[in-house]
Amino acid sequence: MSGFDLSGLSASFGGERVIGPLSLQVKKGERVALVGKSGAGKSTLISLIHQQVGRTSSLVPQDLGLVNALPVFHNVYMGQLDAHPTWYNTLTLIRPFSKDSAAVRALLKDLSMPEKIWVPTASLSGGQRQRVAIARAVFRKADMLLADEPVSALDGPMSHLVMKLMSKRFPTSVVALHDIELALQYCTRIVGIQDGQIALDDYSERLTPADITPLY
């Protein structure tokens, strides 16, 4: 499965409805940008989708979910934890296999940080930490990416590099983005969220920044 058709998605916090109920269908090969102001419900929608499609996707949550005490290698390797038996994972914690360290290093090279492979994750900058979470998602080798503001801490050139890599590695994706230009350039479809509902849903090629700006 690398697409989904979900209906009745809704979430409430403290008795207040944050999102939905709404329906969202994403076809295989679509790269969907979720846009809208902070607090509109984008993060909640990513979480709801992940609960439904789970193991068939790679997730980059907004809090990144990294283990600070471990080196970058082990944080990236976690993308494949469920693909190996426990003994293999335990051994990898002590002494990684050369094929795994070579694969992680190649991926970090694509993200312009191969020299950080054995560095403790706690010592990284915010942008470097985002790239580690993206590397972990790619290392998982799922067909679909779910990502919540994955380039928010990156500068212009680096955010383009990362968006290109994600577009290349994942046939299907749902990515919450704050940058309208990036959304239009790298995603095939724009879904605008406003007050927990879908306020816009159209193909990128038919939209301009002026169509999306009112959502902010």
Mean pLDDT of all residues in 56-78: 96
Q: What is the mean pLDDT of the chain?
A: 95
Q: What would the two tokens of residue 159 be?
A: 């955010």
pLDDT value at residue 146: 97
How confident is the model over 146-179, as pLDDT tens digits? 999 999 999 989 999 999 999 999 999 999 999 9
Task: Grade residue 1 by pLDDT with cuts at 50, 70 and 90.
Answer: low
Mean pLDDT of all residues in 88-117: 97
- Calculate ∠ Cα 111-117-123, nearest 5°: 95
Q: Which residue has the higher pLDDT, 41 or 136?
A: 136
Between CA 144 and CA 58 the distance in angstroms is: 6
Kindly give, in sequence order, each residue whose CB lies less than 8 Å from that of residue 187, ignoring residues fewer than 6 positions away: 31, 32, 33, 173, 175, 177, 204
The CATH number for 68's domain is 3.40.50.300
How confident is the model over 182-214, as pLDDT tens digits? 999 999 999 999 999 999 999 999 999 999 999
- The boundaries of the domain holding residue 187 are 4-215
Paired residues of 174 in beta bridges: 32, 146
Task: Grade residue 16 by pLDDT with cuts at 50, 70 and 90.
Answer: confident
Between CA 29 and CA 103 the distance in angstroms is: 25
pTM of the model: 0.93
Between CA 75 and CA 116 the distance in angstroms is: 12
Task: Grade residue 127 by pLDDT with cuts at 50, 70 and 90.
Answer: very high
Would you say residue 53 has pLDDT above 80? yes
Total domains in the fold of the chain: 1
Q: Are strands 189-194 and 197-203 parallel, antiparallel or unpaired?
A: antiparallel
Percent share of the chain, pLDDT over 70: 100
Task: Tell me which residue of 3, 15, 2, 12 sits closest to 48, measured CA to CA.
Answer: 12
